[in-house]
């Protein structure tokens, strides 16, 4: 039998790994299976070993720590423009922020960080119409002027930001980001609706192969299986 502390350390690494890997597979059945195994092992075995190592530890706190680990494992923080004080005028290129946004995949839970000189600049979150027209006095604008603005992306769809200085916005100091949920891709959300009368060649073209997605699920589920086997071996 392994020492209780060794088992406790294995618990804090293997179980979160198992849950995170199966979460990334974007397959609800795999994730529920991994969660069921994890909770079963936790309730029947690991709480006993943990109690022998840490008598004052609360099982609720352990589960809370695991949930926090899983919920934050996917979130990213992005400094807008990729560097400090990048929300400023003049820009290196008028479309530099558009290129930066298109080079990243923003997901629900991610955070945008705007760093700027608050004496001369600000950030307005606006609708698409005001974004296109660089309207800085819209009725429903959310205005930030603290110099270090953090905006969490909480729902899928486009988010639009412009400079509080209209001339700066017109010269490119604005940002539109597409936020996607974990089970969708940026390509799917950006793809146009099908044409009502497509040409014959489009009707005959083959549909895209789903092989990359299948490979990703297979790889993640295989990793999850390995995680289960590693955990069961530790129990022997």
Asked if the structure places residue 20 within a domain, the reply is: yes
State how far the alpha carbon of 71 is from the alpha carbons of 19, 64, 74, 109, in Å.
Answer: 11, 11, 7, 9
97 with 154, same domain: the answer is yes
98 with 165, same domain: the answer is yes
CA dist., res. 164 & res. 125, Å (int): 10
Name the token pair of 229. Answer: 């086997």
**Number of folded domains in the chain?**
2
Name the token pair of 168. Answer: 């700066």
> Among 11-15, 80-84, 219-223, which stretch is predicted with the lowest mean pLDDT?
219-223
Note the pLDDT tens digit of each residue in 49-95. 544 544 555 555 555 555 555 544 568 999 999 887 789 999 989 99
84 with 171, same domain: the answer is yes
**Which long-range contacts does 164-168 make (Cβ < 8 Å, 24+ apart)?**
164/121, 164/122, 164/123, 164/124, 164/136, 165/89, 165/120, 165/121, 165/122, 165/136, 166/134, 166/135, 166/136, 168/89, 168/121
61 with 156, same domain: the answer is no
38 with 92, same domain: the answer is no
Asked if the structure places residue 210 within a domain, the reply is: no
Asked if the structure places residue 83 within a domain, the reply is: yes
32 with 119, same domain: the answer is no
Instruction: Determine if the pTM surpasses 0.75.
Output: no
Name the residue range of residue 58's domain.
4-74+220-235
Asked if the structure places residue 98 within a domain, the reply is: yes
Note the pLDDT tens digit of each residue in 166-210. 999 999 999 999 999 866 555 554 544 444 444 444 434 444 444
31 with 83, same domain: the answer is no
pLDDT at 185: 53
Asked if the structure places residue 203 within a domain, the reply is: no
CB atoms within 10 A of CB 87: 26
Mean pLDDT of 21-28: 50
CATH number for the domain including 95?
A: 2.60.40.420
Asked if the structure places residue 206 within a domain, the reply is: no
Asked if the structure places residue 86 within a domain, the reply is: yes
Residue 148: asked if its preceding bond is cis (omega within 30°), the reply is no
């Amino acid at each position: 039998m392994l020492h209780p502390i060794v088992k406790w350390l294995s618990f804090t690494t293997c179980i979160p790994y198992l849950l995170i890997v199966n979460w990334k597979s974007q397959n609800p059945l795999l994730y529920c299976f991994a969660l069921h195994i994890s909770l079963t092992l936790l309730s029947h075995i690991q709480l006993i070993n943990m109690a022998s190592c840490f008598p004052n530890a609360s099982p609720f706190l352990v589960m809370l720590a695991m949930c926090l680990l899983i919920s934050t494992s996917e979130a990213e923080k992005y400094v807008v423009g990729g560097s400090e004080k990048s929300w400023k005028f003049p820009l290196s290129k008028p479309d530099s922020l558009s290129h930066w946004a298109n080079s990243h995949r923003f997901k629900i839970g991610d955070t945008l960080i705007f760093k700027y000189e608050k004496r001369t600049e600000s950030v307005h979150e606006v609708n698409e119409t005001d974004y296109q027209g660089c309207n800085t006095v819209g009725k429903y604008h959310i205005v930030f002027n603290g110099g270090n603005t953090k905006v969490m992306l909480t729902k899928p769809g486009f988010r639009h930001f412009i400079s509080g200085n209209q001339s700066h916005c017109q010269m490119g100091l604005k940002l539109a980001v597409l936020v996607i949920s974990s089970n969708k891709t940026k390509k799917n959300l950006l793809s146009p609706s099908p044409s009502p009368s497509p040409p014959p060649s489009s009707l005959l073209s083959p549909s895209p192969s789903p092989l990359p997605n299948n490979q990703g699920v297979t790889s993640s589920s295989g990793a999850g299986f390995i995680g289960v086997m590693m955990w069961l071996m530790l129990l022997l």
